[in-house]
């Protein structure tokens, strides 16, 4: 799982849930192991997309550190060779994950879409050169929105992407759609009542003003 992709970790937790089903389940819910697994599954299901990504990267780091310690116990020649192979495997893994995650020709699962958006937003913020090109990213976002037009986070990433190319019309369009979807889904108003709804409107006006200020309007 640590050597695989994010979807492999999702499949792992799905398989854990399946272990309780059937007439003769592999694990009984009330057993010590069953209680532990149920607690783990429940904790995972409550994670946000950014927390799932952090868990995935932490698992990879833990696995790679274990590999590194094992290799360091070998002789210098073997260590040098293994480190080179491991570096190549890591580069191939990065390419594999990247190609898999940006392939949005069909509808993605909610967590796959959230992971893709989180990954690209983080790259735009921390290292824009590693993110998809503006044209490629916009193409993938359009595919996401084709299957889920009310995906507020996709509209927000589209807004950030259009800022990169100084496209004032598309930036404004995406920003307005983001707050429209955010308010329509009721995420703020459900948790904070009318105050949450009003706060969303104020944030929308503030961000729109900041956008026009950025373009010197």
pTM of the full structure = 0.50
pLDDT confidence band for 100 (50 / 70 / 90)? very low
Q: Are the C-beta atoms of 161 and 141 separated by less than 8 Å?
A: yes
The pLDDT score that the predictor gives to residue 207 is 83
**Mean of the pLDDT values across residues 98-118?**
63
Distances (CA, A) of 34 to 25, 28, 207: 10, 6, 48
**Mean of the pLDDT values across residues 198-202?**
75
Q: Are the C-beta atoms of 130 and 95 separated by less than 8 Å?
A: no
Cα(151)–Cα(31) distance, rounded to whole angstroms? 40
Dihedral through CA 192, CA 115, CA 11, CA 148, nearest 10? 70
Lowest mean pLDDT of 72-76, 120-124, 139-143, 175-179, name the range.
Answer: 72-76
- The residue count of the chain comes to 217
- Higher-scoring residue by pLDDT: 216, 91: 216
- Which spans in the chain are helix H? 6-18, 32-45, 49-72, 76-101, 110-126, 134-147, 152-164, 168-185, 187-214
pLDDT in tens, 19-34: 887 777 788 878 888 8
- Higher-scoring residue by pLDDT: 96, 125: 125
Using the Cα atoms of residue 202, residue 205, residue 211 and residue 217 in order, give the sign of their dihedral. negative
Q: Which of 137, 142, 143 is nearest to 108 (CA)?
A: 143
pLDDT confidence band for 3 (50 / 70 / 90)? low
Cα(185)–Cα(142) distance, rounded to whole angstroms? 20
pLDDT confidence band for 189 (50 / 70 / 90)? very low
pLDDT in tens, 56-78: 778 888 888 776 666 666 555 55
With 90 as the cut, is the pLDDT of residue 134 above it? yes
The pLDDT score that the predictor gives to residue 197 is 65
pLDDT in tens, 156-185: 999 999 999 999 899 999 999 988 887 776
Give one DSSP letter per residue of 172-191, joined into a string: HHHHHHHHHHHHHHTHHHHH
């Amino acid at each position: 799982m640590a050597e695989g992709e994010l979807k492999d970790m999702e499949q792992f937790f799905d398989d854990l849930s399946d272990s309780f089903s059937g007439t003769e389940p592999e694990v009984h819910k009330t057993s010590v192991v069953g209680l532990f697994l149920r607690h783990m599954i429940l904790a995972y299901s409550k994670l946000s997309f950014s927390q799932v990504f952090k868990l995935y990267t932490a698992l990879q780091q833990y696995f790679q550190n274990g590999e590194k310690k094992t290799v360091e116990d070998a002789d210098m020649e073997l260590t040098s060779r293994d480190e080179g192979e491991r570096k190549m495997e890591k580069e191939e893994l990065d390419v594999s994950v990247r190609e898999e995650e940006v392939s949005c020709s069909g509808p993605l699962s909610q967590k796959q879409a959230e992971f893709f958006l989180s990954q690209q937003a983080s790259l735009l913020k921390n290292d824009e050169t590693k993110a998809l090109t503006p044209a490629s990213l916009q193409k993938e976002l359009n595919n996401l929105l084709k299957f889920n037009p009310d995906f507020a986070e996709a509209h927000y990433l589209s807004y950030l992407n259009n800022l990169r190319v100084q496209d004032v019309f598309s930036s404004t369009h995406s920003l307005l759609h983001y707050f429209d979807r955010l308010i329509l889904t009721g995420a703020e108003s459900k948790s904070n009542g009318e105050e949450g709804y009003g706060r969303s409107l104020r944030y929308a006006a503030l961000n729109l003003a900041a956008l026009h200020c950025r373009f010197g309007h």
